[in-house]
C-alpha cells in the first residue's frame, strides 16, 4: 500500500511548497549568519537577535506600540555606550559624542538614513531627503520664514492668533464647558503654520470645539509611523485599493489620504494665486505665504512639482502642529497642577503683561523673564521634542568613536530621551523642576539639552515653536487672566509613554481637560 507521505510528495504543488519553504528557510538562516558574522557591524556589541532580524524592533515598536526606545535604553545599560540595535543601525548613548554625530556642514556632510521614517509618504520633503547637498537645496528656500529674523517679522500675526486663542477660551468662562487644552493648542499651532504656508484659509480656532478632527488626523498619523515605517509598501497599497476595502483593512490609512489631499489642495491653490497675481501684474505688499514665495523664487523647476511640494506641506503642517501643541499642553498641566509654579509665573508676568490686550509682548520681551524661560526649558526637556533616535550617515569619511570606527554610510543615532534623562546631569530626571534652570547651572545641562536636535539637519521650526510657546503661556497665565482648573486629569495624561517618532502619553488618555471658573 502506498504510504500517504509518498503520495503527497508525488503532488507537484506540494513539492513546490516544500521546496519554496526550504529555500526561504535557507535564505533566512543564511541572512542571519551573514548579519551576525560577516556584516561590517558584526563586531559591535548588542543583542544577537536584534542584529539578526528587524522583527526584534517590530515587536517593541509595533506590537508593544512605541516601546523600542526603552529597550534601547536597556541595551545601553547592558552593552555600553555604543550598541547595534538592528541589522544595519547603531545607537550611541554618550553626551560627549552628540556633536560628532549631529554636525554642521562646515565640519562634514551628513546624510539622512533613507530607511528611517520610510513609508509615511513624506519622501521628497526636505526632512526625508537623503543627499546632503539636495537637502540643503530643498531646505534653503524655507529658512527665511523660520529664522529668528523671519519669526520676529511675524509678531503681528502671532499676536493675533494668540489673542484669538485666549478670547475663544475665555468666552467659555462660567459655562461649565470642559475644554481639552490639547485640542485648543493643536488648533492654535495649526492656525499659525497655516497662516505661514497659505493665505485666506479657514482656521481651526474658528471651530466651536477647537477642531478635534485636526488633532485626531495628526495623532492617528503619528501612531501609524512605526507600522508604516516597518512595512513601507502599505502606503503604495493605500493608493490603489478601493476606499471601502481600505477603511476596513487599514483604518488609519484614511487619515493619510485626508492629510495628503489637504496638502495637495493648498499647494495647487497657492500656485493658482501666484499665476493670478502674475496675470494681473499685482504683487501684495502684505504677508506673502511660504508656498507663494516658493513659486516666485528661483528654486529649480524640478523641485517645484506639485507632488514634491505637497510632501513638503505635509511635513510643515504636521511638524508645525504636533510638537508645539504637545509641549504647550505638557507645560500647562504642571502650571495648573502646582499652585506655587502658577503663582511665581503670574508674579513674573505682572509687568510685561500690564497693558494686555492693548499691547502683546514680543518673543524678545518674554525671553528676558528667567522663570518663564526655566518653565519652557523644563517642558522641552521632558517632552523631548522628537523622542526617537534620529539616525545620520557620514557619506564621505568614517566616524571615530572611542575605540570604534563607524564605517562610511552606516546610520548611527542618539535619542533626546536619553540625553534629557541622564541622572548625572539632571538629578531626579523625571521630575518637573523648572528651578534647576535658575542660578548656577551645570554646563552639562546645556550640552545635553537637544529638543530641536543640532547640526545641518536640526529642526527647521525651532524659532517659531519657541515664539509660540512663550506667547501662549504669557497670555493664558497672565495676572488677572482667567482661572483655569484641571478637570479629571492627572500626570499620566502628559507623561511620555510611547515613542511614535513623536512621543505620546498613555494611549487611552482623555487629554488635558480644564474648566474656567
Which residue ranges are tagged as binding site for heme? 459
Q: How far apart are CA 330 and CA 384, in angstroms?
A: 11
Closest to 98 in 3D by CA, of 408, 388, 410, 416? 416
CB 117 within 8 A of CB 125: no
Output the known binding site. Answer: 459
Q: Round to whole Å and give the CA distance between 201 and 432.
A: 38
Contacts of 480 (CB under 8 A, 6+ apart): none
Q: Which helix (H) or strand (E) holds 112?
A: strand 111-112
Residues 6+ apart with CB under 8 A from 134: none
Judge contact between 235 and 120, C-beta under 8 A: yes
Return phi, psi of residue 458, to 5°. Answer: -70, 175
Give helix 462-476 / helix 306-337 axis angle, nearest 10°: 40
Rg (CA), the chain: 25
**What are the residues whose beta carbons fall under 8 Å from the beta carbon of 224, sequence distance 6 or more?**
120, 252, 253, 255, 256
Q: H helices of 107-252, where?
A: 132-139, 143-146, 148-152, 155-170, 181-197, 212-230, 233-240, 243-249
Cα-based distances in Å from 36 to 29, 32, 33, 415: 11, 6, 5, 25
Half-sphere exposure of residue 204: CA atoms within 13 angstroms, side-chain side? 25
Amino acid at each position: 500500500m502506498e504510504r500517504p507521505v509518498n503520495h503527497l510528495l508525488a503532488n507537484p504543488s506540494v513539492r513546490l511548497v516544500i521546496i519554496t519553504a526550504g529555500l526561504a528557510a535557507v535564505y533566512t538562516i543564511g541572512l542571519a549568519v551573514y548579519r551576525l558574522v560577516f556584516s561590517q557591524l558584526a563586531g559591535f556589541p548588542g543583542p544577537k537577535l536584534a542584529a539578526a532580524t528587524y522583527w526584534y524592533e517590530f515587536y517593541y515598536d509595533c506590537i508593544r506600540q512605541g516601546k523600542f526606545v526603552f529597550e534601547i535604553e536597556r541595551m545601553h545599560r547592558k552593552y555600553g555606550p555604543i550598541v547595534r540595535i538592528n541589522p544595519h543601525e547603531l545607537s550611541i548613548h554618550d553626551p560627549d559624542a552628540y556633536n560628532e554625530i549631529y554636525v554642521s556642514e562646515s565640519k562634514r556632510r551628513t546624510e539622512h538614513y533613507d530607511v528611517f521614517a520610510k513609508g509615511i509618504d513624506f519622501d521628497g520633503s526636505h526632512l526625508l531627503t537623503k543627499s546632503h547637498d539636495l537637502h540643503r537645496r530643498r531646505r534653503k528656500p524655507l529658512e527665511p520664514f523660520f529664522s529668528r529674523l523671519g519669526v520676529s517679522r511675524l509678531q503681528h500675526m502671532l499676536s493675533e492668533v494668540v489673542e484669538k486663542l485666549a478670547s475663544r477660551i475665555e468666552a467659555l468662562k462660567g459655562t461649565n464647558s470642559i475644554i481639552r487644552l490639547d485640542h485648543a493648542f493643536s488648533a492654535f499651532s495649526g492656525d499659525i503654520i497655516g497662516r505661514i504656508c497659505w493665505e485666506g484659509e479657514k482656521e481651526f480656532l474658528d471651530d466651536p470645539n477647537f477642531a478635534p478632527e485636526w488633532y485626531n488626523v495628526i495623532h492617528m498619523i503619528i501612531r501609524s509611523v512605526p507600522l508604516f515605517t516597518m512595512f513601507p509598501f502599505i502606503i503604495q497599497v493605500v493608493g490603489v485599493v478601493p476606499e471601502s476595502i481600505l477603511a476596513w483593512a487599514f483604518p488609519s490609512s484614511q487619515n493619510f489620504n485626508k492629510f495628503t489631499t489637504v496638502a495637495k489642495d493648498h499647494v495647487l491653490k497657492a500656485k493658482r494665486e501666484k499665476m493670478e497675481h502674475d496675470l494681473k501684474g499685482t504683487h501684495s505688499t502684505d504677508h506673502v505665504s511660504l508656498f507663494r514665495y516658493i513659486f516666485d523664487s528661483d528654486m529649480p523647476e524640478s523641485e517645484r512639482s506639485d507632488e514634491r511640494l505637497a510632501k513638503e506641506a505635509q511635513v510643515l503642517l504636521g511638524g508645525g502642529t504636533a510638537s508645539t501643541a504637545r509641549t504647550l499642553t505638557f507645560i500647562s498641566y504642571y502650571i495648573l497642577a502646582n499652585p506655587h509654579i502658577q503663582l511665581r509665573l503670574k508674579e513674573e508676568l505682572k509687568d510685561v503683561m500690564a497693558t494686555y490686550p492693548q499691547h502683546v509682548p514680543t518673543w524678545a520681551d518674554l525671553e528676558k523673564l528667567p522663570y518663564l524661560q526655566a518653565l519652557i526649558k523644563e517642558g522641552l526637556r521632558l517632552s523631548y521634542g522628537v523622542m526617537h533616535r534620529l539616525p545620520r550617515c557620514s557619506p564621505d569619511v568614517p566616524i571615530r568613536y572611542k575605540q570604534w570606527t563607524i564605517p562610511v554610510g552606516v546610520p548611527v543615532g542618539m535619542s533626546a530621551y536619553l540625553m534629557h534623562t541622564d541622572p548625572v546631569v539632571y538629578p531626579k530626571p523625571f521630575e518637573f523642576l523648572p528651578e534647576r534652570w535658575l542660578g548656577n547651572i551645570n554646563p552639562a545641562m546645556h550640552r545635553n539639552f537637544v529638543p530641536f536636535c543640532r547640526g545641518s539637519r536640526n529642526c527647521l521650526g525651532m524659532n517659531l515653536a519657541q515664539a509660540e510657546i512663550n506667547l501662549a503661556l504669557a497670555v493664558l497665565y497672565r495676572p488677572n487672566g482667567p482661572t483655569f482648573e484641571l478637570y479629571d486629569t492627572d500626570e499620566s495624561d502628559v507623561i511620555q509613554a510611547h515613542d511614535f517618532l513623536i512621543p505620546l502619553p498613555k494611549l487611552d488618555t482623555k487629554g488635558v481637560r480644564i474648566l474656567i471658573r
